Amino acid sequence: MTPERIRTLLEAVEQGQTDVDAALAQLAHLPYEELEFARVDHHRTLRQGFPEVIFSEGKTVEQVVAIAGRILSSGTALLATRTNAEMRDALAAEYPCAHVNALARTVVIAGEVPHAEAMGNILVVAAGTSDLPVAEEAVETARVMGNAVETLYDVGVAGIHRLLACRDRLFDASVIVVVAGMEGALPSVVGGLVDVPIIAVPTSVGYGASFNGLAALLGMLNSCAAGVTVVNIDNGFGAGVAASKINRLRTGRDGVLPVEKTQK
Q: What is the DSSP string of 170-212?
A: HHTEEEEEEEE-TT--HHHHHHTT-SS-EEEEE-S-SSGGGGG
What topology does CATH give the domain 121-255? Rossmann fold (3.40.50)
221 CB-near residues (< 8 Å, 6+ apart)? 230
**How many residues appear in the chain?**
264
Please, where in the chain does CATH 3.40.50.1970 lie? Answer: 121-255
- How high is the pLDDT of residue 60? 97
- How high is the pLDDT of residue 32? 67
For strands 149-152 and 99-101, give the pairing. Answer: unpaired
pLDDT: is 15 or 86 the higher one? Answer: 86
Sheet with strand 198-202: strands edge to edge: 149-152, 121-126, 173-180, 198-202, 228-230
CA distance 242 to 248: 10
For strands 173-180 and 121-126, give the pairing. Answer: parallel
Instruction: Output DSSP code: residue 76.
Output: B
pLDDT: is 4 or 37 the higher one? Answer: 37
Could you count the other beta carbons within 10 Å of the beta carbon of residue 209? 9
- How high is the pLDDT of residue 261? 45
Contact, 196 vs 174, CB < 8 A? yes
Bond from prior residue into 31 cis (ω within 30 degrees of 0): yes
pLDDT per residue as tens digits for the range 93-138: 999 999 999 999 999 998 655 554 545 699 999 999 999 999 999 9
Instruction: Grade residue 41 by pLDDT with cuts at 50, 70 and 90.
Output: confident
